[in-house]
Amino acid sequence: MASEREVFELSGPLHLASVDWENANHRRSVAACLVQGVYILERDRQEKRQGTEAFAPRWWEFCHFRLLRQLVDDVDSSIFGAVYEFKPLLLQGHHKVDGSPRFVIAFRGTLTKPDSVSRDIELDLHLIQNGLHRTSRFEIAMQVVRNMVATVGDSNVWLAGHSLGSAMAMLAGRTMARTGIFLKSYLFNPPFFAAPIERIKDKKLKHGLRIAGSVITAGLALALKAGSNNNQRNGIEEPFFAIAAWVPSLFVNPSDHVGSEYIGYFEHRKKMEDIGAGSIERLATQNSIGGLLLNALGRESEPIHLIPSAELVVNLSPAQDFKQAHGIHQWWQPHLQLHSKIYEYS
């Protein structure tokens, strides 16, 4: 039996009668619904719901997209992504298409269902170990992204993802940014693997722990790089600086321990600048202690969750529990208490 959360008419953005693509709330809601469409595509597959019994199509048809392609994992045959094409009606009344994408490539997160959970958890473990780029699922996704950009142009392609899927989209966006191609990206509840310092209520303690972490991380980075004969800009900072012009949109909830550290990650940079320790933080912000140690052991490791620039959108609306705080459904709800700020690395 289908969950209420799978049925568009029961849990979708019914308040969104028409889409104004110049409205940031509308763009966010549509991107989240397209990601939800990928979740339900896989649920339809698992439950063998086809034709009129399928629930997934309503999640993209309401905003005039059509499913162009499903992305299928080569290990367990689960649907982990989708390519959507925007097909606006010729006569839509007040529907605006200014600023709309032509194509959206969306990725779902982990599904805790028997047919897909083992493979999804395997990918989660690769993500924790900074090894997502070595997985066949990412290779499939990256090939699709490259082909779409080459065919229709980068300005016509958006990326979107939730949780594990947002990590997939972030890695794809980073990879393209290194070639000078900056794709508009909507990353919902992106994972940030670190001690949950953001959950600490004492601001002085929290700030002190972050300063200590920055000093240790920067010191370890310098020590490990000293033997490689690389100067700071060319050896340590260049890959990070190269993607600074890419500004993805990150959507996080303070009650979501999976991704809430992004709040402190970006805010801490400004505080370090204010106390005259900006040079330390510029080095610390692009490294993780775990990644540095793996590199020291000869295992190539780049923490993909550390990014130089972003539009950080924080949902300050109260969450009942972790499931709600980490869920995709929150991002198309009306009347959210959102705080948005753009952080640009320099």
pLDDT at 231: 44
The pair of structure tokens assigned to 199 is 């959950």
pLDDT at 235: 46
DSSP string, 9-58: HHHS-TT-SS-BTT-HHHHHHHHHHHHHHHHHHHHHHHHT--GGG-STTH
pLDDT at 310: 97
Q: Which of 321, 320, 323, 319 is nearest to 336 (CA)?
A: 319
The pair of structure tokens assigned to 145 is 């992204």
pLDDT in tens, the chain (346 residues): 678 999 999 999 999 989 999 999 999 999 999 999 999 999 999 999 999 999 999 999 999 999 999 999 999 999 999 999 999 875 444 445 678 999 999 999 999 998 999 999 999 999 998 899 999 999 999 999 999 999 999 999 999 999 999 999 999 999 999 999 999 999 999 999 877 777 787 778 887 888 887 888 778 778 777 756 544 444 445 678 889 999 999 999 999 999 999 999 999 888 888 888 878 887 778 877 776 666 666 666 678 889 999 999 999 999 999 999 999 999 999 999 999 999 998 7
pLDDT at 293: 67
Phi-psi region of 192 (alpha: psi -120 to 50; beta: other; left: phi over 0): beta
Query: Contact, 311 vs 346, CB < 8 A?
Result: no
Q: Which helix (H) or strand (E) holds 341?
A: strand 338-343
Q: Dihedral through CA 29, CA 32, CA 37, CA 40, nearest 10?
A: -120
Tell me how far apart the alpha carbons of residues 240 and 282 are, in angstroms, rounded to a whole number.
Answer: 10
pLDDT at 15: 93
pLDDT at 296: 66
DSSP string, 73-113: -TTT--EEEEEEEE---S--TT-B-TT--SEEEEE-----S
Tell me how far apart the alpha carbons of residues 248 and 59 are, in angstroms, rounded to a whole number.
Answer: 23
* Fold (topology level) of 4-189+235-254+308-343: Rossmann fold (3.40.50)
Long-range contacts of 87-91 (CB under 8 A, 24+ apart): 88/64, 89/64
Tell me how far apart the alpha carbons of residues 339 and 253 are, in angstroms, rounded to a whole number.
Answer: 10
The domain limits of the chain are: 4-189+235-254+308-343
For residue 14, the number of C-alpha atoms closer than 13 Å in the C-beta half-sphere is 5
* Interacting residues of 335 by C-beta distance below 8 A, sequence separation 6+: none
